A and B are shown apart, each in its own frame.
Chain A
Amino acid sequence: MKGRRAALRRLYAVQGAWNYERMLGIGMGHAAEPLLDDLGRSDPERHREAVVRSAEFFNSHPYLAGLALGAAVRGEYDRVPGAQISRLRTALCSPLGALGDQLFWAGAVPATVAAAVAAVTLGAGPWSVVVLLIAFNLFRAWVAAWALRTGLESGTAVGAAIRQSWLPRAAHLAGIGAGLAIGIAVPLVADWFLSPFQRGGIIGALALAAGGVITARLAGPMYAAPRFALCALAAALVFRLVIR
């Protein structure tokens, strides 16, 4: 099967046409195109049906979409019934979304970013940002290549391949790493920002931080950090202008 490299490149834009109806569907169809080229030459009718299926509704974590893409394309070449391929894509949405969110959005991303933030406060400067980008993107590129390869090799057995892989364990560990990295970064950032100020200012800022955390816990989903901050900034400005 040709087109693996092109498909891998296109997976970087799998959310390019994200929308509320098909979500990643169009991006998946775009990434599947080079992989389905051979099918177009051998069986044009099956190719046409495969193209339609490839762009149907799909939602998962974008970095793990290659697993579903590879499995679906393998199924097309193996002449698996179309309805079964559609069911496979649908069945993969939730696990790939949950695993990817745990591994990346709640794990690797906050862990590496918090580590970079901590490094900046310790004097590493912009180099910490360079290291962050290189380390994260090497890992992300490796995961994308692994996902597409595993999907193409496993076909409809991709569910078992995911269960037996490193993914579930890594997702758990990434969450712990994120907790630790953010925990280390918070006091360092507070010290980095607040050390030039006088005691009264430092106590005020820390009290505001505590108030924000309590407000977030009490308000639940109603709370939004940027809105809280903008309100606090506006209130502080009005207060300063009034007492001046």
Chain B
Amino acid sequence: MSLEPGTWLLLLLWGVVVGVDLVSVPQALLARPIVVGSVSGLILGDIEAGLRVGVLLELFALDVLPVGASWYPDYGPATVGAAAYASAVPGWEASLGVACAIGLAVGLAGGASLQWLRHRVARDLHAHGDELAAGRSAAIRALQYRSISRDALRSAALTLLALGLAAAAAQWLSLDPRTENTLTLVAIGCGLAAVIGGALRSAGRGARMRWFVAGAAGTALLLGVA
């Protein structure tokens, strides 16, 4: 995977933006894999690869309900690395399986890093407990900006990990075409399982379930006719 230094830098910056977007600011859906993949593909000059990776990882992200203090993966920076790998290997049918593995592994590491960040912010909070009890606005501002800066550093580290894995896989992983295709099919099957499983879990047994089934059945019927 031979990328220009400018491309590396742009991908790193984009990884920081999407990593911070997930929880800290501005929570504008920039961290969604379909968005991250598209923009990463644009930066890499291979939009098709970015979109394919983005849509596949989005199937896993649609399974996530980031409610309250729950644990969830951080697919933003992970998708940057996955898209970089996909663009380095010719043909999405060959690259998607390994790209997905990179995205999922880094996504899980990202989820763990969010826990670390939350505990680190709590330690910071303790250190400034007296100032907060005294009603000092400056202490609140300092805590806020320091926490967002830490999230930016976390996102940068995660993006570097994802890009490093992508570069290593592109350089040293040598698979025959049948194995590559098998991995891609496995990744697609697991992605479909994730999105369907998540949809069934959220749908319950009410109106939402009926509309889900109607949408799926209607579209499948139309595709069959076409």
Contacts and interface: CB of A to CB of B under 8 A. Distances in A.
Nearest to A197: B185
B154 interface: no
A244 to B, nearest CB: 7
A244 B174 CA distance: 13
Pick the 9 closest A-B CB pairs, nearest first.
Answer: A212-B193, A183-B215, A208-B189, A229-B190, A225-B194, A209-B192, A216-B197, A48-B135, A13-B25
B161 interface: no
B101 interface: yes
A95 interface: no
Given A48-B135, A182-B195, A182-B199, A176 B56 contact: no
Given A189-B55, A237-B183, A213 B208 contact: no
10 contacts: A51-B137, A105-B65, A109-B29, A126-B42, A129-B38, A179-B212, A179-B215, A205-B186, A226-B104, A229-B194
B101 A233 contact: yes
Secondary structure of the B contact surface, majority rule: helix
Contacts of A208: 185-186, 189-190, 193
Given A110-B62, A113-B34, A209-B192, A19 B118 contact: yes
Given A18-B118, A19-B118, A182-B62, A120 B214 contact: no
A209 B198 CA distance: 12
Interface stretch (A23-31, A147-155, A158-166): A23-31
B127 interface: no
B190 A15 contact: no
Contact of B190 (A13, A188, A225, A244): A225
B76 interface: no
B24 to A, nearest CB: 5
B187 A233 contact: yes
B215 A182 contact: yes
Contacts of B193: 208-213, 215-216, 225, 228-229
A117 B73 contact: no
Contacts of B66: 105
Contacts of B219: 183-184, 186-188
Interface residues of A, number: 98
A33 B196 contact: no
Contact of A52 (B133, B192, B196, B214): B133
A12 B26 contact: yes
Nearest to B151: A16
Contacts of A76: none
B79 to A, nearest CB: 12
A30 B187 contact: no
A121 interface: yes
Contact of B125 (A22, A27, A186, A188): A22
A204 B185 contact: yes
Nearest to A227: B108
Given A15-B27, A213-B196, A20 B118 contact: yes
B223 interface: yes
A230 B182 CA distance: 14
Contacts of B195: 182, 185-186, 189
B67 interface: yes
A211 to B, nearest CB: 7
A209 B23 CA distance: 30
A205 B192 contact: yes
Contacts of A184: 215-216, 218-219
Contacts of B65: 101, 105-106
A226 B26 contact: no
Contacts of B216: 183-184, 186-187
Nearest to A236: B186
